[in-house]
Amino acid sequence: MAKKKKVRVAFRKNRQKRTRANDMTRSFRQDDPSGTDSISSERVRAKGDLSRHRTVIHESSDDPATAGTANDPSSMLAVDLSTCQPGRVIRVHGLVSVVESEAEKKEYRCGVRRILKTLSIDGRNVVAVGDRVWFRTTGTDEGQIEKVEGRRGTLTRGYRRREHVIASNVDQLLIVSALQEPGLKLPLIDRYLIAAEKGGIRPVVVLNKADLVDIADYQWIIGLYSQLGYETLVTSAADGRGMDRLRELLSEGVTAFSGQSGVGKSSLLNVIQPGLNLRVREVSGWTAKGKHTTTAAELIRIVRGGFVVDTPGLRQFELWDIEPAEVEAYFIEFRPYIPKCKFPDCSHTHETECAVKDALFRGQIDQGRFDSYLKLYSQQPFELD
């Protein structure tokens, strides 16, 4: 049963400059006793008019499954759902979120309730593509988001020391990488695999643009990730390679397409559903980097069933909320050897009698994967060349 209690919530930090009063000592008199004896109960607030708190009603539940969570700030607010309708966020453009109503399948351009922004001070955005929300209509095609339901299956990254939720309520993640133009970035794939596992999403490695290379030269990569238990798919939008399996994967649930700029995510979706007509661009011949074609994440309904979140190409990917000591748990091949290390807190970097490094020496752990681990453990930022 839900319980209600009052919660004090701080406003955002004050950004205004206070005007200093001039001639502060003019009215001071040495013979005035009030100038020497201060009032003990006097309180001085030095941060201006915006340094206040507000009281909101917190709805808590005895059932942990329905209780509000840290990534669901709006669950703390009492909202009259009788005046709202459920929907799903399909696009986010700055301060405006496009919400598709659950009943009408109609799109509304919605703002976000101010208190939700106040509560979500650690995130880059209050809402993300895929969020289930409750919104109130304020016009023919306009509304305001009043509540965000609890998230599951979240794909996140760190962005300027804040959490950036790329997509939420996702069932599987297709990590798209190009064999050529711009070429493979295995450390980026490794980071996506960790982000998927942390967010509770099933990852699939997609090696695209197979028509540009001799696939025999890349069999070791296919074998590497396949042996670790990750489904690895070779595709080509040009000759149709792997497209049947790709259609099967997208036919159920919600799938996020993510990867480096220029790897061909939009081209694959255009082949799967020709009517989408998503914009595509060539890889820059000057920088050999992909050009940003998709500029905002979007939830797309697939005719054969299922949904796809087409995400913008990324130039950098930083893991969020993972401590160095936790990184080892996300490397599947490390797990059989970690208990055999001499030291319980072995970092597998410099210690003697380390079972993980012994396995690396015997060829049981891939050197490239171990290098990815070292960079993540030392929290080195990953920038695409």
Q: Please tell me the predicted confidence (pLDDT) of residue 126.
A: 83
At position 207, the amino acid (one-letter code) is L
- Residues of the chain with pLDDT > 90, as a percent, come to 52
C-alpha 127, offset from chain centre: 11
Measured CA angle at 125 (ends 120, 126), to 5 deg: 50
Residues 354-379 have pLDDT tens digits of: 999 999 999 999 999 999 999 999 98
Please, what are the domains in the chain?
55-148 (2.40.50.140), 155-310 (3.40.50.300), 324-377 (1.10.40.50)
- Nearest Cα residue to 181 out of 205, 211, 203, 206: 211
Q: Please tell me the predicted confidence (pLDDT) of residue 68.
A: 42
Q: Please tell me the predicted confidence (pLDDT) of residue 131.
A: 94
**For 220-232, what is the mean pLDDT?**
96
Give every CB contact of residue 306 below 8 A, 6+ residues apart in sequence: 250, 251, 252, 253, 254, 255
Least confident range from 121-135, 181-195, 347-361: namely 121-135
Instruction: Give the separation between CA 298 and CA 320, rounded to whole angstroms.
Output: 22
Residues 286-327 have pLDDT tens digits of: 344 444 455 578 899 998 889 999 888 777 788 998 999 999
* Residue 243 confidence (pLDDT) above 80: yes
Handedness of CA 50, 51, 52, 53 (dihedral sign): positive
Higher pLDDT, 30 or 223: 223
pTM, two decimal places: 0.77
Q: Please tell me the predicted confidence (pLDDT) of residue 286.
A: 37
* Residue 49 confidence (pLDDT) above 90: no
Higher pLDDT, 267 or 2: 267
Q: Please tell me the predicted confidence (pLDDT) of residue 169.
A: 96
Residues 144-169 have pLDDT tens digits of: 999 999 999 999 988 878 888 999 99
**pLDDT, averaged across the chain:** 81
* Residue 235 confidence (pLDDT) above 80: yes
Number of H helices, E strands in the chain: 7, 15
Q: Please tell me the predicted confidence (pLDDT) of residue 357.
A: 97
* Residue 107 confidence (pLDDT) above 60: yes
Q: What single DSSP character describes residue 35?
A: G
Q: Please tell me the predicted confidence (pLDDT) of residue 382.
A: 66
Give every CB contact of residue 63 below 8 A, 6+ residues apart in sequence: none
Instruction: Give the separation between CA 4 and CA 58, rounded to whole angstroms.
Output: 5
Q: How far is CA 121 from CA 39, 52, 113, 116, 163, in A?
A: 36, 15, 14, 9, 10
Q: Is the peptide bond before 182 cis (omega within 30 degrees of 0)?
A: yes
Which runs of E-coded beta strand occur in 213-364? 231-234, 254-259, 298-301, 307-310
Instruction: Give the separation between CA 181 and CA 323, rounded to whole angstroms.
Output: 33
At position 132, the amino acid (one-letter code) is R
Find the radius of gyration of the CA atoms of the chain: 26
Q: Please tell me the predicted confidence (pLDDT) of residue 69.
A: 43
Would you say 291 and 210 are in contact if contact means Cβ atoms under 8 Å apart? no
- Residues of the chain with pLDDT > 70, as a percent, come to 71
